[in-house]
Amino acid sequence: MELSPQQIRSVDFKVVKKGYDPDQVDAFKDDVAAVVETAHNQAIAMEARARAAVAKLHEVSQSA
């Protein structure tokens, strides 16, 4: 199941008596969304570096 940072931030929970503090839940959702966003951005950057390395390897092997 994939969740985007926006999906995490937009989740709403029903308010019930003796439930969780909505401000704490919202703060936690924001923290989780930020971590997911950072991990996603790092994954994109690593994929780009891997593609560049494969291209360089292909280039070097062609010239050898």
Residue-wise pLDDT for 35-49, tens only, equals: 999 999 999 999 999
Looking at residues 19-44, what average pLDDT do you find? 93
Q: Measured between alpha carbons, how far is 62 from 4 in angstroms, rounded to an integer?
A: 40
Say if residue 62's pLDDT is above 80: yes
Nearest alpha-carbon partner for 36 in 10, 62, 63 = 10
pTM of the model: 0.71
Nearest alpha-carbon partner for 31 in 5, 61, 53 = 5
With pLDDT > 70 as the criterion, what percentage of the chain qualifies? 100
Q: Tell me what pLDDT residue 49 has.
A: 98
Confidence of residue 16 (pLDDT cuts 50, 70, 90): confident
